[in-house]
Amino acid sequence: MANRTPLIAGNWKMYKTVSEAVETAGQLKKNVADTAGVDIMIAPTFTAIAAVCDSVKGSNIDVGGQDLFWETEGAYTGQLSPTMLVDVGCRYVIIGHSERRQYFAETDESVNKKIAAAIKTGLIPVMCIGESENQREAGQTFSVLDKQVKKGLKGFFADDLKTLVIAYEPVWAIGTGKTATSTQAQEVHQYLRSLLTEIFDQTFAQSVRILYGGSVKPENVSELMSMPDIDGALVGGASLNADIFSKIVRFQ
Ligand code: PEP
């Protein structure tokens, strides 16, 4: 069994001014200074990325973008390039979050291009996938994930994807307070690993970190993290408060 260091990632979405973001990051830095054996990432809103990178520099917290565009530069109003994220100090980038798929026309094809651009620039891509409530109720969970993974990772070899992180985020559990049970999440994570074995190989499938996301909080994190195929969490709402998020980082 591969040794996968857990990753606890906070997605701050469109919350916090620069000063609020820096204050939360500073508090988090103090709270988690003594934690080891877990990778920690926060993804502030774009305006706060540079200041948060400065604030956590030299600590055990990494910073990520919430999205990127695949071109390096050009006439693309409103977009940020992978090199720009690296330039301000980002190590990770979230790609294909369900809110981007739902409200901003993100597709599996654009996810695929963004993953390629992230990897080329040395950013760690966190590829988000997940089924809607209707799809789960219609028994389509695995076929939806199958399509998202195959299209999102189309054209890559295992060697290209050494840093890839996948976040399984059932859409019905994001921001709703409804968490998938640890058994439901484990079932999907195990399925994803078998799918990655089929597409690539077993060594690769065993080495990829697969996070769970969807209403993770201190009360449910340890149960989720006790599952063999769950390697961490992508946390939205509960990552906005440094005290609550640091409990999640400690799995308690
Ligand atoms: C998310 O935004 O990725 C997420 C999982 O949100 P929440 O934890 O609030 O459900």
Q: Give every CB contact of residue 78 below 8 A, 6+ residues apart in sequence.
A: none
pLDDT value, residue 175 = 87
pLDDT value, residue 247 = 98
Task: Give the integer Cα–Cα distance in Å for 90 and 149.
Answer: 24
Q: Which atom of ligand 1 is nearest to the CA of 176?
A: 10
pLDDT value, residue 110 = 98
Q: Give every CB contact of residue 158 below 8 A, 6+ residues apart in sequence.
A: 200, 201, 203, 204
The yes-or-no answer on residue 97 being catalytic is yes
The yes-or-no answer on residue 169 being catalytic is yes
Q: Which atom of ligand 1 is nearest to the CA of 233?
A: 5
How close is the Cα of 126 to the center of ligand 1, in Å? 14
Enter the pTM of the model. 0.97
- Give the chain's residues under pLDDT 50: 1
Q: Which residues line ligand 1 (CB under 6 A)?
A: 11, 169, 174-175, 213-216, 234-238
User: 15, 99, 215, 221: which to mutate for ligand 1, most atoms within 8 A of CB?
Assistant: 215
Q: Which atom of ligand 1 is nearest to the CA of 217?
A: 8
pLDDT value, residue 127 = 98
Q: Minimal CA–CA distance to 155: which of 189, 200, 204, 205?
A: 200
Contact between residue 101 and residue 107 where contact means Cβ atoms under 8 Å apart:
yes
pLDDT value, residue 179 = 84
How close is the Cα of 188 to the center of ligand 1, in Å? 17
Beta bridge partners of 95: 127
How close is the Cα of 234 to the center of ligand 1, in Å? 7
pLDDT value, residue 42 = 98
pLDDT value, residue 3 = 84
Catalytic residue among 99, 106, 131, 169: 169
* CA-CA-CA-CA torsion sign (232, 221, 171, 22): negative
